[in-house]
Structure 1
Amino acid sequence: MKKLSLSALAFLTPLVSMFGMSSMAAAQSNITMYGIIDASISREVTGAGGATRMESGIHNGNRLGFRGEEDLGGGLSAVFTMENGFNQDDGTAAQGGRLFGRQAFVGLSSRSLGAVRLGRQYSPVYLAQLTVDPFPGMKGDMTGIRQWFNSGNFRVDNAIAYIAPSNSKFTGSALYSLGEVAGNAAASRQYGFSVGYTGSPLTGTLSHHLTKDNTGADSAKVWFVGGAYDIGIVKFHAAYDKTTGAGRTDIRDAMIGLTVPLRSSKIMASLIRKENKALSNADAHQVALGYLYDLSKRTALYTSAAYVNNEANSGVNAGGVNGAKNKVFDVGVRHTF
């Protein structure tokens, strides 16, 4: 991680003297450059056959980011984040080729009042999932079987977000996205919120997100609740969500899991059940097991295996084959800087 300190307004000092002002506080800006490079080799076997691939960003998405903060005085700061996603296996840009496809926002942050940010950001419901999923980002996480996240809805464009102050065990955030459709304010808009508790040994979260279609007449709604309980030798995880709307969809997902911390590593396991109440022969379940070993504070090795039993009408992408049993195994390395 590279941090640069800039006296952003120092060049104004001569001008201040010319106008007879006795003093002026030069605002201090801190800019941090950071990133993650994550690569793995995976073996996937589906109803269509098996394939061995080099995959990009399995444990954590590959990124190169810039984060900045300027102290404006009185506990108020200007903040920004620009985060590019890329694929290390072939050097291409991720998120459909966007320059800063992972995140791109600017805003104001107050220690006592919270922060307001404008731009492309993560939805509160996706961040809520990360707090309780034993497989955040790895094979076996909840995004592998949840259709709502498979549609790419965990990042939101044109978003106005509020993040509550983080000076207590309680957390909260809200987001509203402008649909930007002329003559129809409801079309393509999104909004959501999340509230949580981050105490010890209990962590809990409740979140909601709504997405309007491009006419504003139909909407997809997801409710998510989850928690974790850490007793030291093992951490238990549980989550449940319900997605409705968007063509009379009614999908329920339930997850139970655990994390076993070791000296420089941890073992993860989870079971996820997907049930479609609106369609027959459309359920699925996933069993996953993973291991992470920290070589240092910045470098880790990992491996994970997942099995998906996918009914014919489930819509879960088991290697592109519905009604198939999907098995996947990977081993990789992740480095942060």
Structure 2
Amino acid sequence: MKKTLLATAVVAGFTGAAQANSSVTIYGLVDAGLAYEKNKVTQGDNRIENRTFGMQKFTGARNGSRWGFKGSEDLGNGSKAIFQLESGFDPGNGKSLQGNRLFGRQAYLGLSNESWGALTLGRQYSIASQTIAPKGPFNSGYFQAGQLFGAFGSSTYGRMNDSVKYMSPDFSGFKFGIAYAGNHNKSEFEWDGVDKIETKQASNWISTGGSYDNGPLAIGFSYDRYRTNARTAPDISKGTPAKTHKGTVHTWNLFGNYDFDIVKLDLGYGQVRGAIGNKNRANVEMEASSIGLNNLFTPFTQGMRSDGLLYSQTNGYRQQAWTVGLTIPAGEAGKVLASYQGSHTKNNDRGFDGVKGNLHIFSLGYEYRLSKRSLLFAVASMGTGRLKFNDSNAHPKAKLSTSLVGVGLQTRF
């Protein structure tokens, strides 16, 4: 049960003076389970194979475990001051997640109004996380085929540091939003009046999208652009020259579902253009750098370029992904989940010409609601894929097979 407290002595410890028209909600959920996972990638005589059993792979499978505070103060005329602080943790070992941040999932404050929407500042979800990620029978969770973001990667999900975000009010089922995060820093160093060194960080992330929910129909769309423009200082003692990192990634997604009562049908399609697998995007901390199950292929592209970059880490990377899913009611408290995801990838940059990948993921799940706050769940999933190269003698075809079976329990408070 969520605990809604008037801002009295309990809240005064971190809000200062209490006001009768202020409130704070303490909330959370714990999600844990057991799973067996096996994945194998082969390429000629090369092979990578892993087997895992235990809590580690399936903790936070349906939703990440969390606790947090959210509150508001009525400012009059329909306006409110709002905030939310949310911390993620691993119930298997009690450790904080999201890089050991205190409030790594969300940490923002802002203003909202019934007529014009909400404007917030801080660490918060991208627009795609609100318009796309909730769609589909498995949403963006359940570690399908052993990977959290399946065939789409994290193009449908992300958190934005140091961001400004606007979300509109509901217009008869339609909402839209836009968010911006970025760092623009430039420093100059001059030694002995001769050597002049310049460093620059000018990376940014723009996220936008919208959703329409009316009766049995729900549609969501999103567009994200990540841009890196960073120049690092040379290491004079080692003779290492300055390095410039530039690149732009574009992602867009369109998802929708229709509830026929006896079954709900989900469809989705998305594209990625650019180095979404490159985690070195200066200080923006985009946290949207996963390419999902395709990550298992990247070690087999090592050495194809002199700069050491992998298949998904250059601007020539292209990805298309699609999904179809079904949610079928099973009695008053249960439902059956089924989905298929697929993707096609390629890279047009030097060193990767002719490299093409295909991926398929099949998943089946079941949820049984024990109460309003607690549920049991189970999932079985398998994935297959291939990565082809132009020169089959130097680089034989890489083949992927992976599977996961897991059960879990979730409760909210």
TM-score range relative to shorter protein:
0.7 to 0.9
8 Å CA contact 1:139, 1:288 repeated in 2: no
Deviations along 1:86-133, one digit per CA (max 9) or x if unpaired, are 000011111111110000000000000000000011111122222322
Matched, 1:241 2:270: yes
Shift of 1:166: 2.5
- C-alpha distance in structure 2 between counterparts of 1:189 and 1:27, whole Å: 40
> Does residue 128 of the first structure (1) align with residue 203 of the second (2)?
no
Equivalent pairs: percent with the same residue?
32
- 2:160 equivalent to 1:156: yes
Partner of 2:218: 203
Scaled by the length of structure 2, the TM-score of the pair is 0.71
The 5 A counterparts of 1:114-263 are 114-136=117-139, 137-140=141-144, 143-149=149-155, 154-166=158-170, 168-182=172-186, 187-215=202-230, 217-246=246-275, 247-262=315-330, 263=332
Which of 299, 307, 322 is the aligned partner of 2:374?
Answer: 299
CA distance in 1, matches of 2:356, 2:116: 49
* Structure 1: gaps spanning 5 or more residues: 12-25, 315-321
Identify the residue that residue 96 of structure 1 maps to in structure 2. 99
Structure 1 residue aligned with 2:4 = 3
What SS is found at the alignment partner of 1:132? coil
CA distance in 2, matches of 1:306, 1:60: 17
* Distance in 1 separating the partners of 2:257 and 2:400: 31
Equivalence map 1:17-96=2 (5 Å): 28-47=21-40, 48-54=49-55, 55-96=58-99
The normalised TM-score by structure 1 is 0.87
Partner SS state of residue 36, structure 1: strand
| Distance (whole Å) between structure 2 residues aligned to residue 302 and residue 56 of structure 1 | 12
For the Cα contact (< 8 Å) 2:379–2:405, is it kept in 1?
Answer: yes
Decide which moves more: 139-148 or 102-111. 139-148
Q: Which moved more, 1:36-45 or 1:124-133?
A: 124-133
Q: CA separation in 1, counterparts of 2:85 and 2:101?
A: 11
Shift of 1:281: 3.9
Count residues with an aligned counterpart: 312
The answer (yes or no) to whether the contact 1:139–1:305 under 8 Å persists in 2 is no
Over the residues paired in the alignment, what is the CA RMSD in angstroms?
2.3
Structure 2: tracts of 5 or more residues without a match: 13-18, 41-48, 188-198, 231-244, 276-314, 348-353, 390-397
The answer as to whether partners of 1:27 and 1:70 remain within 8 angstroms in 2 is no
Aligned counterparts of 1:133 and 1:181: Cα–Cα separation in 2: 40
Q: Aligned in 2, Cα 1:27/1:194: closer, same or farther, shift over 3 Å?
A: farther
Question: 1:181-207, CA deviations, whole angstroms, 9 ceiling, x for partnerless residues?
Answer: 337998221011111110122111121
Shift of 1:154: 0.7
Partners of 1:185 and 1:176 in 2: how far apart? 19
Greater Cα offset, 208-217 or 323-332: 208-217
Measured in 1, the distance between the counterparts of 2:376 and 2:184 equals 43
Q: How far does residue 218 in structure 1 lie from its aligned partner after superposition?
A: 1.3
| Residue aligning to 1:18 | none
C-alpha separation between the residues in 2 aligned to 1:280 and 1:53? 36
